[in-house]
Amino acid sequence: MTSTKIRAGRMMTLALSLAVPQLANAAVALTGATYSENFNGLTTSTAVVSTNGGLLPNGWQFGETGDNANSSYRAGDGSSNTGDTYSFGAAGSTDRALGSLASGSLESRFGAIFTNQTGSTINALDIAFFNEQWRNGSATVTSATATRYAFSYLVGAANLSSAGSWTTVTSLDLIDQVLTGTPSGGAVDGNTVRAQRTGTIAGLNLLQGQSIGIRWIDLDDSGSDDALAVDDFRMTASFASAVPEPSTWATMFVGLALVAGLIRRRKSRPVLA
């Protein structure tokens, strides 16, 4: 597997490349505390599908680098070793997951852009999803050499290539689910070979109208790669405590004064024998 230093450098190259085909898709407007996406609207066609057809959920994007990079994706069940961005699922099934398979001529990243339209400041985002595996590249994978798609986020991101210091959250990485006993170079059923991943983007100060981007980056590993995907994505926002308006403070003080006055009046009443 690629060393940490080399992988970090390649992630920077992938993120900053201006020649990467990048899908333009409107951001998801967060209008409530919870957002969810099951990806079941993704294509079921194994033919290459242009993203111009609007076949991605609103706000979700992907970008590719390499000789075979383009702005299209296809459906797959993990049986193909062709590097691409994929709508993974059983053949013909509408139960889909968004993922990718890297190769020597293609690396991918995918994710979404969200805009805070809740009317309040968001200070944390709790994220949960199913981490599915649809192809096993090697029969000798261990926990130390497992494929990992790194998760990161950036406040103010306009797309998945936006310049800036993307922050990683390792608890939200996509990682191998098959570690032993599975033949190399074969498809696996991601609907059963999966695990739930949860994590929190903490310490935010996402103001009304600000955007935040999240992404997973799939780099080409040495040897045969695994194919991983995201399904049943769910994100819940936590909000900063609202500071009462001056008029609210005034109302509170008046109310407290009235209560205090009533208490004093009751105490001053003579006790009847």
* Regions in the chain scoring below 50 on pLDDT: 1-21, 243-245, 248-249, 273
pLDDT value, residue 35: 98
Question: Residue ranges per domain, the chain?
Answer: 4-243
Question: What is the predicted pLDDT for the residue at 8?
Answer: 44
Name the one residue in this structure whose structure tokens are 């991601």: 190
Note the pLDDT of residue 130.
Answer: 99
Q: pLDDT tens digits for 40-55? A: 999 998 888 776 555 8
- Fold classification of 4-243 is Jelly Rolls (2.60.120)
The per-residue pLDDT for 161 is: 93
For the entire predicted model, the pTM comes to 0.80
Q: What is the pLDDT of residue 204?
A: 98
What pLDDT is recorded for position 268?
58
Structure-token pair, residue 40: 């079941």
| Cα–Cα separations (whole angstroms), residue 206 to 40, 55, 117 | 29, 29, 10
pLDDT at position 232, please?
99
Q: Choose among 270, 174, 258, 263: nearest CA to 214.
A: 174
